């Protein structure tokens, strides 16, 4: 009987300690506009942020930045060529951007990847600054730090939500 109750205790404790590390399993993860995702925030040490965001692929250097060292960490499953969440940090390992590519990441007003452009406009209205280009339209909320909604023109749907400094 003691072995059974000890096993039960170990299982319960394991569940308690792994739940905060797996926010995707709990449903929607909040996007805090201009601040961060879930409990992870801009400016936070990337080692701390990954603890709040759960399982991830190994952090690697992003070679798309010419004279700047940038680390990228991917979270969730890859779909349509993108991971559910991408986190970028500087050479000093401070987070400067989150890119949400999945509908599990949701703003307080309900915007998420896949939301329609009209839904986005109805929720944010004139607080959004619009920049139209041939393939995408960028809607920016706030100024450094900011939240940017990238809408694909052909579908009129949000493709990504970026929270950056």
pLDDT tens, position by position, 101-116? 999 999 999 999 999 9
Residue 82 predicted with pLDDT over 50: yes
Q: What is the pLDDT of residue 63?
A: 85
Q: What is the pLDDT of residue 64?
A: 86
User: E strands within the chain?
Assistant: 29-32, 36-37, 40-41, 60-61, 71-79, 82-89, 95-100, 105-107, 128-132, 136-141, 146-152, 157-164
pLDDT tens, position by position, 20-74? 444 434 579 999 999 999 999 999 999 999 999 999 999 999 988 888 899 999 9
Q: What is the mean pLDDT of the chain?
A: 87
Please give the domain boundaries of the chain with CATH numbers for all domains. 2-164 (2.60.460)
pLDDT tens, position by position, 11-21? 444 444 444 44
Residue 162 predicted with pLDDT over 50: yes
Residue 95 predicted with pLDDT over 80: yes
Q: What is the pLDDT of residue 2?
A: 55
| Contact present, 40 and 95 (Cβ < 8 Å) | yes
Distance, CA of 136 to CA of 143 (rounded, Å): 20
Q: What is the pTM of this model?
A: 0.81
């Amino acid at each position: 009987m003691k072995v059974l109750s000890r096993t039960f205790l170990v299982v319960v404790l394991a569940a308690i300690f792994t739940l905060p590390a797996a926010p995707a399993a709990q449903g929607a993860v909040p996007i805090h506009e201009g601040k961060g995702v879930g409990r992870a925030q801009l400016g936070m040490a990337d080692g701390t942020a990954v603890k709040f965001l759960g399982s991830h692929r190994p952090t690697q250097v992003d070679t798309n930045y010419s004279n700047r060292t940038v680390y990228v960490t991917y979270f969730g499953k890859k779909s349509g060529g993108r991971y559910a969440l991408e986190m970028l940090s500087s050479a000093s390992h401070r987070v400067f951007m989150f890119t949400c590519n999945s509908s599990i990441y949701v703003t307080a007003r309900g915007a998420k990847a896949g939301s329609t452009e009209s839904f986005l406009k109805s929720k944010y209205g004139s607080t959004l600054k619009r920049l139209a280009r041939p393939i995408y339209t960028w809607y920016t909320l706030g100024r450094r730090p900011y939240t940017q909604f990238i809408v694909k023109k052909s579908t009129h749907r949000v493709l990504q939500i970026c929270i950056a400094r």
